[in-house]
C-alpha cells in the first residue's frame, strides 16, 4: 500500500510539471477548433488567386491612407507607457519611451501569450534607461490588466445595441457568453484597481489607485481598440465598400474577444475565422473577405512588427543579456497569475538575445518576400516598362536568381540568429544581389528597398557576428532540408493558384502565361530548392565546430602526464586516459578542463585541474571558447569545494548523488558492525581463494583472460563511458589491477584501480568484473582485500564510487526535480538498483560526499538530463 502511495506521488509531481503546459496548449486549440468547426464552409470557398486579385485592385490612395492610419493606431499604444511613466514616476525620455513602447507592443501583437511578451520586453528595454527590474515588474503587472478594458467597454456597446453585429451572435450562441464575459471584466477591473489588496501588492504602498489613473487607463485602452477597429473599417471599406461603421466595429470587437480567448499569438485563427463568419453573414464572398484579413494582418501587425524588428536589432543587445543575468542571479520580482501560468520569468531567456534574433527573422522574412514576390505576378505596366529597358531573357534569369536567393536567405537566417560570422558575410552579399534581381525581374522596387534596409541593419550590427560555428545535430539539418522543401512546395502552390485565379479574368493572359506558367513555377521551385540544399550541404561539410570536441590524442595524453607531475588530480582524473575526452588548456596551460560534447553542450568531467586561484579565469576563458560555437558549458560530478566558483558564474545546481569515501585509517573488520565482512573474508581464505595486485606492464595472456571475464560479465551489454572506464587494453595498462583467483589459479574476478594523482593519498575503484556463477560474497572479499592492500600501501582514502540519486530531494524545500529524483531513487529499482547500490557500499562504512551537476540557468534540466544519459551511454571504441 505504501509503495502505491509513493508511486502516486511520482505521478502527482509529473502532473504538476506538465499541467501548466497542457493549459497553455489546450485552451488555444479548443477555441480555434470551435471557431473552425463553425466556419469550415466559408474556408472551403476561399481562392487564393482571386484573393490576390482583390489586393492588386486596391487604389494607391487607399493604401497610403491605410498605411498611415495603421501606424498611428500602433503609436497610440504608447499611452500605456505614458501611464506607467506617470504613475511610477519613471525617469525615461519621451523618444526612448516611444521606441520601447513600439517594440514591446508590436512584438506582443505578433507573439502574444496573454501580454507577457510585451511585459518581458518592457522590463528589458527600460533597463537601458536605468529602471530596475523590480520596479518594472511592478509597472508591467500594474499594466497587464489594463489592456482588455477598452474591449470590455466596446462589449457593453454591443450589449446595448450601439454596435450591432447582425446575425453573427444569433447563429453562433457561444459568442454571446464570450461578449458578456468580456463586458463583466470592466466592473471587475475598476473594483480591483480600487482595492486595498491591489494597492498593497502593486502600488508600492502608495494607497489605492486614484480615480484619475483609472480613468486614464480606461481611456488609453478604449482609444487603442477603437483605433484598431477603425483601421479594420478603413481596410474593409476600401475592399468591400458601403459598410456600416458601427456594424464593422461591433464585428471587430466580437472577433477580437474570440482571439483573446484563444490565447493564440495575435489571436490568429479564432479572430480571422470569426471575421469570415461575420462578413459572410453580411453577404460578402469569402475571397474579398479574405483580402480584408490579409491587408489587416499586413498593415496592423506585420509592417509595424518589421519596424519593431529593426528597432529591436539596435536597441537590444548586451544590456538585455545583463538584465537576464541579474534576474537569474536571484532578484525577486512580484508575479501575477498570468506570469506564473506562463512560467515567467523563464521566458526572459528568449527575449535576452532578441536583437540578433530579430536580425535572423528579418533575413528569414527577406527570403519569404523574395519568394512571394516571385510567386505573384508583377503589375503589367511594370513588366512592360522593364521589358523595354532590359530584355525578357534577363528578366527571366533575374526571376530565377531571386527565387534561389530567397531559399538561401531562409536557410541562412538560422546562422544569423546564432551570430555566425560566415552566415553574416554570405547573407550580406545575397541581400544586395536579391535587391538587384528582384528589381530587374519586374521593377519591384518595394521589395528591393526592404532587402537593402535589412542589409543595412545587418551591416550596422556586424560586430555581433563573432562565432565560428554552432553545434547543430544532423536532425536539425534534416529539419531544415524538410522546411526548405515545404517552402518550395508552398511557393509552387501559391504561384500556380494565383496564376489560375488571376489571369483567367485578364485579356493579357496568353502573354503573361508564357512568362509565369505553372511549369515555370515548378522549374524555379526545383532550381531554388537545389541551390538551398547545396548551400546547406556545404555548411554541413565545412562547419568548423567539428574540432571543438576532438578527442585527446597521444600528444595531449603526454602533456597530461607532465601536467600531473606538478599539479594535483581528483577522483575522476584517471578517466582522462580513456582518450574519449577533449582537453582545453586554459591560463597558458596551467589549468586543464576535460570535456566532451553532448549536442549543444560541452560537458566538463569533474572540476577543472590546476591551482584554485586560476580556476575562475579559466572557466571564463572556456565559456568564451564555447560561446564561439554557440554551446553551453556544464560541469558534471562537481564537488562542494568548487560550488562557490560556479555560483559566481550564474550556475544552478542539481544533486546527482554521493561518493562513498572510506577513510582507511578508520577501516577495521573488528567489532559487531563488521561481523558479516569478517565472515566473508574467513570463508574465502579458508577455501583457498587468492588475492593479488599486479602492476603494468601486463602480459598478453593476462589481458586475454581478463577479456574473457569481462565479456562474461557484460553478456552483450554496451559498455558505458565518459565518467566510467571500460575494457580497453591501452587504458588498463595505465594503473594496477586487483585479481581474485580461485584455488586452481584461474581469474574469477578483477577490479582496475584509478589513482587520485594527489601524492598517493587517494585510490579509486574503476572497472569491477567477475565471471558468472561466482560464489556469494566474491566482490565483498575483493573489496575487503583491496581496502587492506591500499591501507598497507599508505593510502588515506579509498573511493568506492558513486551512488546515483543518493540523499537527493529529502528536504521539504528541495527543488521539484530533486523530489522527483528522490522518488525514482526509492522506487526505480526496476531500471537501476539505486537503493541496493547505496546499501551495498554502506557495508564498508564510508563517508558520503555529495556530487552535483552545475548548469547555466537558461539550460533546460530535463533536456540536459537526456543529453547526459546519451553521453554516458555513447558507444565506446578501443584504441
| pLDDT one-digit tens code per residue, 248-296 | 999 999 988 888 877 666 667 778 888 888 887 787 877 778 878 888 8
Count of CB atoms within 10 A of residue 433's CB? 16
What is the end-to-end Cα distance of the chain in Å, rounded?
A: 51
pTM for the whole thing?
0.65
Helix (H) or strand (E) holding 849: strand 847-856
Task: List phi, psi (to 5°) of 232.
Answer: -65, -40
pLDDT at position 261: 77
Distant-in-sequence contacts of 107-112, Cβ < 8 A, 24+ apart: 107/305, 107/308, 107/312, 107/354, 109/74, 109/266, 109/300, 109/301, 109/304, 109/305, 110/265, 110/266, 110/301, 110/302, 110/305, 111/265, 111/266, 112/263, 112/264, 112/265, 112/266, 112/267
Determine the 3-state secondary structure of 549 from DSSP. Answer: helix
Alpha-carbon separation of residue 859 from 349, 436, 653, 723, 870 (angstroms): 9, 42, 11, 21, 17
| 8 A C-beta contact, residue 594 and residue 583 | yes
Mean pLDDT by 10 residues, the chain (879 residues): 45 44 49 48 48 64 89 93 87 88 86 63 79 79 84 91 79 78 88 67 59 82 93 90 87 87 70 82 78 84 84 60 44 42 42 67 85 66 55 72 84 84 89 85 76 85 79 69 78 65 44 52 77 73 63 85 90 88 91 90 92 93 88 92 91 87 87 83 88 88 89 81 83 89 88 89 89 86 90 90 70 62 50 67 87 87 82 67
pLDDT at position 471: 66
- How long is the chain? 879
Determine the 3-state secondary structure of 719 from DSSP. Answer: coil
Q: From CA 338, how far away is CA 120, in angstroms rounded?
A: 12
Helix axes 60-76, 94-111, angle to 10 degrees: 110
Task: List phi, psi (to 5°) of 667.
Answer: -80, 130
| 8 A C-beta contact, residue 782 and residue 751 | yes
Bond into 697 cis (ω within 30): yes
β partners of residue 598: 601
Task: List phi, psi (to 5°) of 657.
Answer: 155, -155
Amino acid at each position: 500500500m505504501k509503495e502505491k502511495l509513493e508511486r502516486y506521488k511520482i505521478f502527482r509531481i509529473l502532473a504538476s510539471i506538465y499541467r501548466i503546459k497542457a493549459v497553455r496548449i489546450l485552451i488555444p486549440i479548443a477555441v480555434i477548433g470551435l471557431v473552425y468547426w463553425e466556419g469550415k464552409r466559408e474556408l472551403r470557398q476561399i481562392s487564393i488567386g482571386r484573393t490576390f486579385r482583390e489586393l492588386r485592385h486596391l487604389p494607391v490612395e487607399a493604401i497610403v491612407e491605410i498605411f498611415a492610419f495603421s501606424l498611428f493606431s500602433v503609436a497610440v499604444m504608447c499611452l500605456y507607457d505614458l501611464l506607467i511613466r506617470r504613475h511610477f514616476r519613471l525617469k525615461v525620455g519621451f523618444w526612448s519611451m516611444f521606441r520601447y513602447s513600439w517594440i514591446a507592443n508590436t512584438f506582443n501583437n505578433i507573439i502574444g501569450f496573454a501580454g507577457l511578451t510585451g511585459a518581458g520586453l518592457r522590463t528589458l528595454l527600460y533597463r537601458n534607461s536605468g529602471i530596475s527590474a523590480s520596479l518594472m515588474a511592478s509597472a508591467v503587472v500594474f499594466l497587464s490588466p489594463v489592456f482588455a478594458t477598452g474591449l470590455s467597454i466596446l462589449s457593453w456597446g454591443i450589449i446595448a445595441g450601439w454596435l450591432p453585429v447582425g446575425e453573427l451572435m444569433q447563429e453562433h450562441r457561444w459568442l454571446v457568453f464570450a461578449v458578456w464575459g468580456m463586458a463583466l471584466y470592466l466592473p471587475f477591473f475598476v473594483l480591483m484597481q480600487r482595492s486595498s489588496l491591489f494597492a498593497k501588492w502593486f502600488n508600492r504602498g502608495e494607497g489605492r489607485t486614484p480615480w484619475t489613473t483609472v480613468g486614464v487607463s480606461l481611456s488609453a485602452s478604449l482609444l487603442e481598440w477603437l483605433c484598431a477597429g477603425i483601421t479594420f473599417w478603413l481596410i474593409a471599406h476600401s475592399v468591400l465598400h458601403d459598410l456600416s461603421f458601427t456594424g464593422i466595429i461591433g464585428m471587430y470587437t466580437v472577433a477580437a474577444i474570440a482571439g483573446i480567448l484563444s490565447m493564440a499569438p495575435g489571436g490568429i485563427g479564432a479572430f480571422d475565422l470569426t471575421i469570415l463568419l461575420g462578413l459572410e453573414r453580411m453577404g460578402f464572398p469569402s475571397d474579398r473577405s479574405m483580402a480584408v484579413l490579409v491587408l489587416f494582418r499586413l498593415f496592423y501587425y506585420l509592417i509595424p512588427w518589421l519596424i519593431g524588428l529593426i528597432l529591436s536589432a539596435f536597441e537590444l543587445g548586451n544590456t538585455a543579456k545583463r538584465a537576464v543575468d541579474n534576474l537569474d542571479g536571484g532578484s525577486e520580482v512580484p508575479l501575477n497569475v498570468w506570469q506564473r501560468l506562463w512560467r515567467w520569468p523563464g521566458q526572459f531567456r528568449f527575449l535576452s538575445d532578441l536583437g540578433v534574433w530579430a536580425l535572423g527573422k528579418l533575413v528569414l522574412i527577406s527570403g519569404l518576400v523574395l519568394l512571394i514576390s516571385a510567386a505573384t505576378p508583377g503589375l503589367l505596366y511594370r513588366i512592360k516598362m522593364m521589358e523595354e529597358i532590359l530584355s525578357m531573357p534577363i528578366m527571366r534569369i533575374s526571376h530565377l536568381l531571386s527565387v534561389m536567393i530567397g531559399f538561401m536567405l531562409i536557410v541562412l537566417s538560422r546562422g544569423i540568429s546564432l551570430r555566425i560570422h560566415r552566415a553574416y558575410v554570405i547573407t550580406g552579399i545575397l541581400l544586395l544581389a536579391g535587391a538587384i534581381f528582384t528589381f530587374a525581374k519586374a521593377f519591384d522596387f518595394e521589395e528591393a528597398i526592404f532587402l537593402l534596409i535589412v542589409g543595412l541593419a545587418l551591416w550596422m550590427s556586424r560586430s555581433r557576428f563573432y562565432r565560428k560555428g554552432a553545434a547543430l545535430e544532423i536532425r536539425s539539418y534534416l529539419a531544415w532540408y524538410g522546411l526548405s522543401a515545404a517552402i518550395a512546395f508552398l511557393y509552387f502552390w501559391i504561384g500556380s493558384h494565383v496564376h489560375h485565379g488571376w489571369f483567367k479574368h485578364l485579356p493579357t493572359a496568353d502573354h503573361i502565361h508564357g512568362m509565369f506558367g505553372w511549369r515555370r513555377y515548378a522549374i524555379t521551385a526545383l532550381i531554388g530548392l537545389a541551390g538551398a540544399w547545396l548551400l546547406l550541404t556545404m555548411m554541413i561539410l565545412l562547419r568548423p565546430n567539428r574540432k571543438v570536441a576532438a578527442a585527446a590524442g597521444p600528444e595531449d595524453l603526454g602533456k597530461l602526464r607532465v601536467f600531473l607531475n606538478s599539479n594535483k588530480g581528483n577522483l575522476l582524473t584517471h578517466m582522462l586516459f580513456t582518450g574519449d575526452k577533449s582537453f582545453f588548456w586554459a591560463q597558458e596551460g596551467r589549468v586543464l578542463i576535460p570535456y566532451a560534447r553532448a549536442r549543444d553542450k560541452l560537458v566538463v568531467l569533474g572540476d577543472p585541474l590546476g591551482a584554485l586561484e586560476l580556476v575562475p579565469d579559466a572557466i571564463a576563458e572556456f565559456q568564451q571558447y564555447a560561446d564561439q560555437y554557440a554551446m553551453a558549458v556544464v560541469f558534471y560530478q562537481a564537488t562542494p569545494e568548487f560550488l562557490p566558483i560556479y555560483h559566481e558564474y550564474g550556475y544552478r545546481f542539481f544533486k546527482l548523488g554521493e561518493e562513498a569515501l572510506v577513510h582507511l585509517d578508520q577501516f577495521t573488520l573488528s567489532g559487531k558492525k563488521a561481523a558479516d565482512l569478517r565472515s566473508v573474508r574467513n570463508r574465502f581464505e579458508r577455501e583457498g581463494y587468492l588475492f593479488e595486485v599486479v602492476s603494468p606492464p601486463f602480459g598478453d595472456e593476462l589481458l586475454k583472460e581478463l577479456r574473457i571475464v569481462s565479456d562474461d560479465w557484460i553478456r552483450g551489454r554496451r559498455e558505458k563511458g565518459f565518467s566510467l572506464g571500460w575494457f580497453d587494453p591501452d587504458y588498463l595498462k595505465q594503473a594496477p589491477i586487483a585479481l581474485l583467483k580461485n584455488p586452481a589459479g584461474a581469474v574469477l574476478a578483477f577490479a582496475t584501480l584509478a589513482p587520485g594523482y594527489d601524492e598517493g593519498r587517494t585510490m579509486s575503484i574503476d572497472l569491477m568484473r567477475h565471471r558468472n556463477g561466482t560464489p556469494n560474497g566474491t566482490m565483498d572479499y575483493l573489496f575487503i582485500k583491496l581496502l587492506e592492500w591500499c591501507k598497507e600501501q599508505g593510502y588515506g582514502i579509498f573511493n568506492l564510487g558513486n551512488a546515483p540519486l543518493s540523499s537527493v530531494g529529502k528536504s521539504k524545500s528541495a527543488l521539484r526535480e530533486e523530489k522527483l529524483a528522490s522518488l525514482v531513487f526509492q522506487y526505480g529499482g526496476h531500471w537501476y538498483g539505486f537503493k541496493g547500490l547505496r546499501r551495498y557500499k554502506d557495508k564498508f562504512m564510508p563517508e558520503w560526499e555529495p556530487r552535483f551537476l552545475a548548469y547555466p540557468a537558461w539550460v533546460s534540466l530535463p533536456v540536459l538530463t537526456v543529453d547526459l544519459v546519451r553521453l554516458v551511454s555513447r558507444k565506446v571504441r578501443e584504441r
